[in-house]
Structure 1
Amino acid sequence: MTPVRTASTADLDTAERAAVRGLLDLAFDGEFADEDWDHALGGLHFIAYEDGRPVAHAAVVQRRLLLGDRTLRCGYVEAVAVHPGRRRHGLGGLVTAAAERVVDRAYHLGALSASEDGHALYTTRGWRLWDGPTAVLAPSGVTLTPEDDGSVFTRGLSGGSGPLVCDWRDGDVW
């Protein structure tokens, strides 16, 4: 079985951070922006290695979500990626399982935004596609994000009404 290293961003040395960023750039075919990388920093990283190189990665960072009158501490899953040559070998599930363990034990809920290609991974693991509207607490106030409807998944969320609102950040807010 491929080992998974769990490390805080602070525990990744310069070379390891560069190797993970390189994996993400490769896995996302050059579409992984600096803001996306920034979103993945500051929490925990789950990295699968083969022959000393990272082949899969997921991160969990803390965010605040609003749902109705509740403020929820969220373990937000970021930067889930598998090396293109190692896809369909269970590595995505391996790093996601490690991330879920932290989400389930340390946060009110988990959330993530997935591409259509990623939907199957999360639904088979018990994540639920959020069927309500999404929004962001922007500098100008709560703003609906219809472009993100149908891509946000949650884990451990029960009940609630109205939009699911995320905190503001540069780049993609979800």
Structure 2
Amino acid sequence: MSSFSVLHTWQVPAATLAAARALLDEAFDGDFSDEDWEHSLGGVHAFAWDGDELIGHGAVVQRRLVHDGRALRAGYVEGVAVRAGRRRRGVGAAVMGALEDVVRGAYPLGALSASEEAMAFYEARGWQRWRGRTFALTPAGVERTEEEDDGIFVLPVVPLDVTGDLTCDWRDGDVW
């Protein structure tokens, strides 16, 4: 890794955003939708470069999560990926370290939805698996998201009961 940058979406050149989208498409084997990309925009991005090649990306966007009767501003981590040939070399840790700094500096908690392959990585970094029930605030009202219960992780900056209920705000595509 020869350089690293942290920028808000509005500061990122179009060519860099295109490179990030291409990296995410590759890393998720074509299973990274336009909605997934939209979820990654509007916040702070961390970019890892090797010369002119983008080798790592992640973003933190603001969301509202409801827990214990409070609507909390959450730094929600999206679009984390490392180029296949560069994994297990500290690139993902560098990207996440920058995003965690943003979360700790700006939000009462961080949150993310982890793939099965990434769960051990986040746990090793101190993220806590949410052990309570999950919900989404949808246009039809609050709906249970039981299929997400085992994959939501939080990085509490303030004390939280990780066995309680957690409700995310609505968005198109994957709500978590």
Common fold: TM-score over 0.5: yes
What is the count of residue pairs matched by the alignment? 174
Alignment-derived partner of residue 59 in structure 2: 59
Alignment-derived partner of residue 165 in structure 2: 163
Check whether the contact 2:72–2:108 (CA below 8 A) recurs between aligned residues: yes
CA deviation string 1:21-73 (max 9, x = no partner): 11111111111000000000000100000021110011000000001211101
Instruction: Provide structure 2 residue ranges, at least 5 long, that are not aligned to the other structure.
Output: none
Instruction: Compute the RMSD of aligned alpha carbons.
Output: 1.1
Check whether the contact 2:131–2:164 (CA below 8 A) recurs between aligned residues: no
Q: Pairwise mapping of residues 20-99 of structure 1 onto structure 2 (< 5 A)?
A: 20-99=20-99
TM-score by length of 2: 0.95
Distance 1:2 1:125 in 2: 23
Q: Give, in angstroms, the shift of residue 75 of structure 1.
A: 0.3
Check whether the contact 2:2–2:51 (CA below 8 A) recurs between aligned residues: no
One-letter amino acid matched to 2:28 = F
Structure 2 counterpart SS, 1:61: strand
Q: Give, in angstroms, the shift of residue 153 of structure 1.
A: 0.1
Which moves more between the two structures, 1-10 or 35-44? 1-10
Alignment-derived partner of residue 9 in structure 1: 9
Distance 1:101 1:34 in 2: 27
Distance 1:132 1:50 in 2: 40
CA deviation string 1:73-120 (max 9, x = no partner): 100000100001111111111100000001011001000000010011
Distance 2:52 2:8 in 1: 19
Instruction: Provide structure 1 residue ranges, at least 5 long, that are not aligned to the other structure.
Output: none
TM-score by length of 1: 0.96
Q: Percent identity over the alignment?
A: 52
Alignment-derived partner of residue 102 in structure 1: 102
Which moves more between the two structures, 57-66 or 1-10? 1-10
Q: Give, in angstroms, the shift of residue 162 of structure 1.
A: 3.8
Alignment-derived partner of residue 123 in structure 2: 123
Q: Give, in angstroms, the shift of residue 163 of structure 1.
A: 1.6
